[in-house]
Every structure is written in structure tokens, then in C-alpha cells.
Structure 1
């Protein structure tokens, strides 16, 4: 269960809680976990205690999954993760045979369906082993890791797998939505920058494509245009808008070959080269959303950088 494992990992490495350094009212397990557990009785919640040996009914739940909402906070109440806000859904948590105490898995074992709990871990106890140390932001916020968990019900493995698949699809859809919103906003910013660059450099005759790329044919070619799937040979020089060159076909001493329209180059190249006849030379001004976007490219191309390319379509193979 990749999602549940990821949540466990996140809880183990980074979580904390709004109770911060206050420990009043908490009980403690033999392994050192401080906890408050509340059981719903009618419309109210009542705090309940767990015996020193843990919940004796847990053995009947091993192998199943407990659904619940998780949230993690620093000791200064900074939210690190909140599945309710992020997914608007409970997540499946595996109930396993405990091989190590003092872990989030042990905290899960103390809960019955319908319980709510707050669990405080000393950060030092969770960062044992070679090469592991407590992150500074945890040390500076109380050196504790606290997890909130509000549970709903037990489900079997098949139901948990179905839930995980649904959650993964939901997360992918949300990420796609966020990426599209970001790209739309960034394209507006890039367009302002590109228009200013065109005006400043007196690039008369630049044309704009629907995608937001600008281009100008500086030397028309007489040959055909390339079709998607055909291999094209291109001489080029790429620069930032500051004028700094980051790449050129002269470095290899020969044109660069690639299949057009197959996604093997940045989108601005697939679109821009397709506009040219064989033998043409052109300037392409490519917004960052059609170039290297948020990630940039190595040390030479920063994130969100519009680019300028001078290209020549040498051949179509």
C-alpha cells in the first residue's frame, strides 16, 4: 500500500502537533509515546485509558486497515500535512504485527474504529540509525513529533486497495489542476516579459502562436515543411533573454537531429520547427511553459525562464 506507506514515512520523519510542548493530560506507553485517546459515546467524546500492555483487542484487527484522517504539525502549530484538507477523504492505514515499539504503527494499534487520538513522539526516538538526525525545524519547535488521527472504520485489504487507487487518481487530478493553473498564470507573466523583450530589441514582424510562442522567419526557405514523425536536422543557438548562451549546435560541430512532434524536445521546438520550410532561418521566443518550466535545466537555465533560439532547418529526412 504505497499511499499508506508514504503517510507512515511522513509521520515518522516530519510530523508534530498543536499541543506543542504541553504534556498535561497525556498518558504514556512503555515505549514512551504520549497519547490521548477519545471514544465517541453518543454525541460526545470521552477520554479512555489503555492498559500498560496496549489494547488487548488489537490482535483481532491485525491484517486489516483502519480508515482515518491524519494531520501533522510542528510543536509551534505549523501544519505539515493534513489529509482532510489535501484529499478531503479518509486514508487506509495498515494494521500490522508490531515488531518495533514507539512508532506510529504502535499508535495505530491503540485505536479502535471511531476513536480519535493525539500522539506525541520525541523526535530523537524516531531518528535513530546511521546518517539520520533530527531536522532543525523540529528541534526548534519543541523536538517533538505529534500525530492527530480521527478514525472511522475497519476495512479489508481489497477495500483498502480500491480506496488507494481512488485516492491516487484524485491526487493526480488535483496535481494536474494545480499544474494547469500554474501554467496559465506563468504564461501571462512570460508574455509580458517577451513583449518587453521584443520592444526593447526592436524585433519587428514577430508573430504569436495560440500557445504563446513568438517567432520570426529571418530567411525564408524554399523546401517543404516537416511532418510529425519525420526526422529534422537543425542548427541552433539558445540564449536566455539576458543574452547568455546556454547551448549551440556548434558545440558538436553538426546539426541536431530529432523526430518532429514526438515529445523528444521541448514543446516550443516541436511547435516552432513545424512552422518552417526546409532551408528557413528563424528566431523563436519560447515562454517557460513551453520550455523547461518550473524545473529549469541544470545550472544554465533557471526555473520559469523564457528562451530565445536562433534556428535553421537544414534538412528533413
Structure 2
């Protein structure tokens, strides 16, 4: 998506920029009239130096309005836990259309202070920013403080590197080019990782004395109870009971956690991981089976949350309950 204005909502829905070179001798935070604390560093020939903004705002901002700013962003909680990192979680910079700042004290005003090439650290009082920018209560984890520091205000910290300023046409072309380059890198990485995963899965099969078949996609599957119904076709809705584990046996998700209710989804249209779209299509209605899925057909090099590491092959014990 080219234009992304609500940074924090994106970060919270998803769940580090290295500024060490900028922080040497940085001193205290400056503060805007609206209460944003900040440190901004301008890049001059590869060397960074501090830059303050006038109390009334950056006088040059009007000349940038209507253009697209590409930037990398990281959000951290009061206790320095990372909420979101655009480099790691998107692989591409965020792109923001710069518009008139209507809400002071929030993320829009902070971004308006940046010029291309700047690196910055912004610190927001969470009570203020949630009230002003998001019109909702502060999530409890954003206010998690040490017992000895209950009275201190909670902050959200935002690290930013402003990359470049572009017209809409320039930004669209640049984004398309970067997406194509990223796709090529991801495909090359997945091909290499698939070979590594295959060795791991074969070792797992041998160690656990499984009689498994291999699908051309790289999935291994073991039918533990044959079904007698039809094999689902692409686009049909299937109902599946499941338990997902890492190869060390750690359970990360299951139908049991959802009240033993099967999950329904249309097969082969990308609503689930590729390993499920391919693996469930191999089974008859009523079949119970074990699917061993390489990481490239699961959650890849990014993993999923705290439970599924990067490049993790997965095991799913499934039952194809129904085909609709």
C-alpha cells in the first residue's frame, strides 16, 4: 500500500533502526509546544549533527506537502519492547503523503518535522497520543512500568529514518521496483531454505518412524486414518480440525484452543498458509493426517509472533471434517 498514515495502528495490528551513530553526544530531548519530545539529526556528508525545530514548526514543511516521504520506522514501549519494525516486518520503507497537520502532539506532527535524510527519535506520552490520535484507551501493555516507578508517565518511542521525498508518480515507480527486487530475493531465499528444510524433515521422519509421502511442493504427509469422501477442489470450503506444533513438539495453535471447533476456509485462494492449501487438497473428506510443512510454505524467514521462529518447518495433525 503506497500511503500509510496511521503508523501506530499498523504496528499494533502486526504485534531496530540503528541510530547509535546519531546518539553520540546527543544530549537531552527537545520539546515541541504540543509536548512531543524529540531528537533530530541531519546528515551532512555522512556525518550527523543535531537539528532543532522552531516552536512554531518546520518552516520548510509547506514546500513538502503533497509529496510522498519514504521512511523506516520502529516503535517501542516504555520498557523498550519492540512493537513494530518496518525493515524487519515489511522489508520495504513506509510511504506517507505529507498533508496539513490537523492534530498537534501526535505522529503526524512528528513526521512533519522531518526532512529527507534525517534520523530521529520521538517520545510520546501514551495517554496523550491515544487520546488525540487514536480516540481509544491505552492498551495495558503500553503502560507496563516497574513497581518503583508507578507515578512516572508511560512513553511510546518512535525511531525514524527519513529516506527520500518523491512525487506520487516517482514513489509508485520506486515502490514497484523495490517490491520486484524483494520478491526475487525472497524466492531465491525460499529455494535455498527449502533444501535445508527437506533435510530436517527427512531426519524428523526417520527419527519418528513415520511412513510419509512427499508432494512435489515439498510437503510430506502421513495418512493416519483414511477417509472415504471426496477430495476437495480449489474454491470449495473445507472444515478442518487441527493441532499445530514445532518439530520439538511445542504446540502453537489448535482447534482445542478454539473450543474444538473446526476452522472453515475456501481452499486454494490464499486465506491460509500455502502448506495448508496444498496439503489439505491431498486428503479425502474424513481423512486424518499429519502434514510436515517446510518453512517456505509456512511462515518463512519472518516467522509468526513469539511462538513460530523464522525458518521453522511445522507439523500439523489435521482432520478434514467436511467439504462444502
> What's 2:28 paired with?
25
Q: How many residues were matched structurally? A: 259
Deviations 1:6-58 (A, max 9, x none): 64534689899999xxx961111111101112223344322222111101121
Which ranges of structure 1 fall in alignment gaps of 5 or more residues? 200-205, 231-236, 241-245, 247-259, 274-280, 296-302, 312-317
> What's 1:285 paired with?
289
d(CA) in 1 for partners of 2:231, 2:168: 50
1:61 corresponds to 2:64: yes
2:144 to 139, 162, 166: 139
Given that residues 67 and 90 in structure 1 are in contact (C-alpha distance below 8 angstroms), is that contact kept between their aligned partners in structure 2?
yes
Given that residues 228 and 261 in structure 1 are in contact (C-alpha distance below 8 angstroms), is that contact kept between their aligned partners in structure 2?
no
Q: CA deviation at 1:108?
A: 1.2
1:5 corresponds to 2:5: yes
Secondary structure in 1 aligned to 2:66? coil
Given that residues 17 and 73 in structure 2 are in contact (C-alpha distance below 8 angstroms), is that contact kept between their aligned partners in structure 1?
no
1:103 to 86, 103, 106: 106
2:173 to 137, 156, 162: 162
d(CA) in 2 for partners of 1:39, 1:267: 50
d(CA) in 2 for partners of 1:111, 1:71: 15
Which ranges of structure 2 fall in alignment gaps of 5 or more residues? 21-25, 147-152, 235-239, 244-254, 256-266, 305-313
1:271 to 282, 288, 297: 282
1:203-282 mapped onto 2 (5 Å cutoff): 208-210=213-215, 212-215=220-223, 267-268=278-279, 270-273=281-284
Q: Which has the larger radius of gyration?
A: 1
> What's 1:120 paired with?
123
> What's 2:162 paired with?
151
1:276-315 mapped onto 2 (5 Å cutoff): 285-287=289-291, 289=293, 304-307=315-318
